[in-house]
Amino acid sequence: MDIENEIKKVFFDVFPNLTDKNYGLDIEQNDYLNWDSFAHLELMTGAESKFQIKISPEDSLSIKTARDLLELVKSRI
Amino acid sequence: MTNISDYLIKHAKNNPDKIFLIVGKECFTFKEIFDKVEKLASNLNNFSKNSIISIMFENSLEFVISYLAIIKIGQIVHVMSPTISKENFLKQINSCEPVIILTLKKFKNLFEDVNTNKQFIDFYELDKQNSTYENNEKSEFTSLLYTSGTTSSPKGVKIKNSNIIFTTKNISNVLEYNNKDVDIVPLSLSHSFGLGCLHTSLYNGSTIILHKNTINILDILDSILENNATTLAAVPATLTKLVNDFPEKFVEKCYGLRLIITNSTKISKNTTKKILKLLPKTKLATYYGLTEASRSTFMIFNDNEGKEESVGKAAPGVEIKIVKENKELKNGEIWIKGENVIESYWNSEFSDKFEEGWIKTGDLGFFENEYLYLTGRKDHIINVGGEKVHPEEVENIVKKIPHIDDVIALGVEHELFGQVIKIIIKTSDESKIDINSIITHCKKNLERFKVPREVEFVPEFPKNEHGKIIRHLLEKNYHENK
A61 vs B contacts (CB less than 8 Å)? 215-218
Domain count, chain B: 2
Distance CA B197, CA B231 (A): 10
pLDDT of residue B175: 98
Distance CA B421, CA B410 (A): 6
Distance CA B200, CA B7 (A): 10
Query: Are the CB atoms for B380 and B425 separated by under 8 Å?
Result: no
Q: B290 to chain A, minimum CA–CA distance in Å? A: 22
Q: Identify the CA nearest to A24 among candidates A72, A69, A76.
A: A69
Out of B97-106, B337-346, B398-407, pick the least confident: B398-407
Q: What is the mean pLDDT of residues B104-117?
A: 88
Given B165, B188, B213, which residue is the final one in a domain?
B213
CB spacing of A35 vs B215 below 8 angstroms: yes
- Quote the percentage of chain B above a pLDDT of 70: 97
Nearest residue in A to B107, CA atom: A33
CB spacing of B440 vs A16 below 8 angstroms: yes
> Which backbone phi and psi does B411 adopt, to 5 degrees?
-95, 125
Give the mean pLDDT of chain B. 91
pLDDT of residue B327: 82
- The answer to whether residue B71 sits within a structural domain is yes
Q: What is the mean pLDDT of residues B449-478?
A: 84
pLDDT of residue B23: 96
Q: How confident is the model at residue B134 (pLDDT cuts 50, 70, 90)?
A: low
Nearest residue in A to B219, CA atom: A61
- The answer to whether residue B477 sits within a structural domain is yes
pLDDT(B150) > 70 = no
Q: What is the mean pLDDT of residues B458-473?
A: 83
Distance CA B167, CA B171 (A): 6
Query: Are the CB atoms for B129 and B43 separated by under 8 Å?
Result: yes
Show the domain range for A49. Answer: 3-76
Q: What share of chain A is helix, strand, coil (3-state, %, to 5)?
A: 60, 0, 40
pLDDT of residue B476: 75
pLDDT(B50) > 90 = no
pLDDT(B417) > 90 = no
pLDDT of residue A43: 93
Give the mean pLDDT of chain A. 90
User: Quick one: how far is CA B330 from the chain centroid?
Assistant: 29
Show the domain range for B466. Answer: 382-481
A17 vs B contacts (CB less than 8 Å)? 444
pLDDT of residue B338: 98
pLDDT(B149) > 90 = no
pLDDT of residue B242: 94
- Condensed to tens digits (0 to 9), the pLDDT of residues B299-339 reads 999 989 899 999 999 999 999 999 998 888 889 999 999 99
Q: What is the mean pLDDT of residues B147-174?
A: 89
* Burial (CB count <10 Å: 0-12, 13-18, 19+), residue A17: exposed
Given B213, B239, B264, which residue is the final one in a domain?
B213
Out of B47-56, B409-418, B443-452, B471-480, pick the least confident: B471-480
Q: How confident is the model at residue B133 (pLDDT cuts 50, 70, 90)?
A: low
What does DSSP assign to residue B378? S
pLDDT(A32) > 60 = yes
- Quote the percentage of chain B above a pLDDT of 90: 65
Strand partners, B336: B320, B359
Q: A9 to chain B, minimum CA–CA distance in Å? A: 12
Q: B409 to chain A, minimum CA–CA distance in Å? A: 18
pLDDT of residue B329: 84
Q: Best interface-test mutation with B: which of A17, A38, A45 has the largest number of B CBs within 10 A?
A: A38
- Condensed to tens digits (0 to 9), the pLDDT of residues B349-388 reads 889 999 999 999 999 999 999 999 998 888 888 988 888 8
Kindly state whether A50 is in contact with chain B, defined as any CB-CB distance less than 8 angstroms. no
Interface of B to A at Cβ within 8 Å reads 82-83, 106-107, 110, 212-218, 237, 241, 245-246, 385, 416, 436, 440, 443-444, 448-449, 451
- Condensed to tens digits (0 to 9), the pLDDT of residues B57-86 reads 999 999 999 999 999 999 999 999 998 988
pLDDT of residue B135: 60
A57 vs B contacts (CB less than 8 Å)? 241, 245-246
Distance CA B182, CA B151 (A): 40
Q: A24 to chain B, minimum CA–CA distance in Å? A: 17
Kindly state whether A39 is in contact with chain B, defined as any CB-CB distance less than 8 angstroms. yes
pLDDT(A30) > 60 = yes
Query: Are the CB atoms for B421 and B451 separated by under 8 Å?
Result: yes
* Burial (CB count <10 Å: 0-12, 13-18, 19+), residue B128: exposed
pLDDT(B290) > 90 = yes
Q: Identify the CA nearest to A56 among candidates A72, A35, A68.
A: A72
Q: Best interface-test mutation with A: which of B58, B59, B211, B215 has the largest number of A CBs within 10 A?
A: B215
Domain count, chain A: 1
Query: Are the CB atoms for B201 and B351 separated by under 8 Å?
Result: no
Q: B219 to chain A, minimum CA–CA distance in Å? A: 9
pLDDT of residue B264: 64
Q: What is the helix (H) or strand (E) element at residue B121, kind and residue range?
A: strand B120-122
pLDDT(B466) > 90 = no
Q: How many CB pairs under 8 A join A and B?
A: 45
Nearest residue in B to A34, CA atom: B83
The domain that contains A44 carries what CATH number? 1.10.1200.10
The domain that contains B53 carries what CATH number? 3.40.50.12780
The domain that contains B438 carries what CATH number? 3.30.300.30
